[in-house]
Amino acid sequence: GDQVKQSPSALSLQEGTNSALRCNFSIATTTVQWFLQNPRGSLMNLFYLVPGTKENGRLKSTFNSKESYSTLHIRDAQLEDSGTYFCAAGVRGSALGRLHFGAGTQLIVIP
């Protein structure tokens, strides 16, 4: 089932604009990880979150465990931000390290 739901499924952004991606969880999530899969297929770590907010350059991510969602904000989008963004939930009661992935948001940044 859709234990980790990502929205939107696809997104086009003009270079220099801002946007937000979202993950909603229907399982008891204790940690969240965000990854970017680039067009060549490589998966890169973006954030590891316990409840709270982290920022790295033009990216900022928040995990709200009480309301069971996480967001990834992209500021001043650049062409190299294109790819598929995945969130993954670490679940309470699940074995340490096991992640449940969403289906991804495909982002295209347009010049």
Binding region for another protein (CB under 8 A): 4, 31, 33, 35, 41-43, 45, 48, 86, 88, 90, 95-99, 101-104
Amino acid at 23: C
Integer-rounded Cα radius of gyration of the chain? 13
In the bound complex, what is the minimum distance in angstroms from residue 107's beta carbon to another protein? Answer: 14
In the bound complex, what is the minimum distance in angstroms from residue 105's beta carbon to another protein? Answer: 11
Pick the closer one to another protein by CB: 80 or 95: 95
The 3-state DSSP class for residue 79 equals helix
In the bound complex, what is the minimum distance in angstroms from residue 96's beta carbon to another protein? Answer: 7
